[in-house]
A and B are shown apart, each in its own frame.
Chain A
């Protein structure tokens, strides 16, 4: 379903969304006290950890939310902008920002909010940041080497660390909750008992415990994509009964130019390019979550016939499709191997006793003659183009 942009919310409307979200953003930052540099830098001198509390709570809330939405297929994380990792520019840029933070007392977002309520120092900070950006743009050829060095693509932290997404989320929640506890101790010590955060521990303890519980359960909600990718491990693969179509019926429907049948080829792209059934669409079932496949599977009045080299590969893909909620799925009995063997390369046995079989065999001989031309004529083949990620970042 999500992200709603650009399919459900158009690019123009998205600007209005941006404006509305911005209002919420500015409002919350100001309410949290991020419009005063004294409160912001308190973090670095130990007298006020509001920034850490707000920042960490927001981070884990959104993180757990992303995890849940991903699991329930409410959002397709393949389309969401993931900040890329350029190792050296991230570190050097980050440290420069950190120095700017302790000298200037703001970061770009908070300085804008502070300027909005009349803080003159914040206005100078905004002006300064514009100058900083200008220097970067004008001096870009000088910094380009550092800016583009060590590009690792857009990895996600759980992959980098080699742990599950859920476990990482739990660790973050645990770190956050313990950080909240310790920074309150530090704060009280630095301020000699004068409390910055007045929330009583009677209230905070159950909330902290609840957060940990949520974090703990996060470990058991794998991303939907991972679930789909590992679907072949499910016991159902051996036993699940999908509606099957015989190779003879398929051959007949292809020859008759049946338009109600949509062929989904789950073999590799190379195999597909070399040979495929007429009008088939090549598919990698681990991509079935993507919107494009939603469109393919939900085409009105069509049956979706999934075929692979053998029957089992079709069952795996069909299970993935069923898991996502796609309907009208049929698999090809015996797979493409059987179609090749029993139809395309069929030769009439010298002696046929069963009369029913004889009719089938006669049909197969005819089909073997007619089909190659149809298959040849149906080129070029369809490979579904997938949407690109949203362009994001600062």
Chain B
């Protein structure tokens, strides 16, 4: 079924959700933890900083604490391997559904530069927030909900609540009218 899809057709959202739920369940059953994404970004940032500024890392309390709880190599983390897999999985999905395309997607009402700036700023806020909130939409919201975590569910409500609260102010980035 998937193979026969045309370019713009996506999987039925309920089916996709069901499959994602099963995958998450399998993940919890096998590993005792949920899915995630922002943790891998952190691993890459940390090991990047290690290479560029080893002396700084040596003196940083944050890094030293991380090494104590997570081991010496930030890249040797479950989420890093998972995210590398996700890159490949998404690529394969794009390949079979004929969606591989180097494009800058944006509303026709805004300039490319605006979209790039918005993506960078949005990313920075999300990255920062995910560290403060101990997880993003995957690690805190979705995985937290599956295991009934109060912390995860509160983070989820805050993410979506925050987005709804501020959506009006950024409508020009997305809506043409």
Contact = CB atoms under 8 A, between A and B. Distances in A.
A221 interface: no
Nearest to A111: B123
B150 A160 contact: yes
A201 B32 CA distance: 37
A66 interface: yes
Interface in B7-50: 10-14, 16-39, 41-42, 44-46, 48-49
B129 A100 contact: yes
What's the dominant secondary structure at chain B's contact region?
A: helix
A125 B119 contact: yes
Contacts of A62: 21-22, 24-25, 28, 142, 145-146
B147 to A, nearest CB: 6
Interface residues of B, number: 128
Interface in A76-96: 77, 79-87, 89-96
Given A96-B129, A97-B136, A83 B152 contact: yes
B126 A97 contact: yes
A272 B126 CA distance: 51
Contact of B125 (A30, A60, A99, A156): A99
Contacts of A133: 38, 41-42, 45, 127-128, 130-131
A392 B33 contact: yes
Given A32-B20, A93-B132, A2 B149 contact: no
A21 interface: yes
B82 interface: yes
A84 B33 contact: no
Given A2-B30, A140-B61, A394-B139, A50 B41 contact: no
Contact of B41 (A22, A25, A65, A108): A108
What's the dominant secondary structure at chain A's contact region?
A: helix
Interface string B157-171: 111111111110011
Interface in B115-140: 115-116, 118-140
Nearest to B94: A117
A275 B128 CA distance: 54
Interface of A: 2-5, 9, 14-33, 35-39, 41, 43-45, 50, 53-63, 65-66, 69, 74-75, 77, 79-87, 89-122, 124-137, 140-141, 143, 146-147, 152, 154-160, 165, 168, 172, 180, 197, 199, 204, 207, 389-394
11 contacts: A4-B31, A24-B23, A25-B89, A26-B91, A39-B10, A81-B32, A83-B155, A97-B159, A101-B162, A108-B41, A117-B90
Closest 10 pairs (CB-CB, A-B):
A104-B122, A22-B85, A94-B158, A98-B162, A93-B133, A128-B123, A61-B21, A57-B17, A132-B127, A26-B89
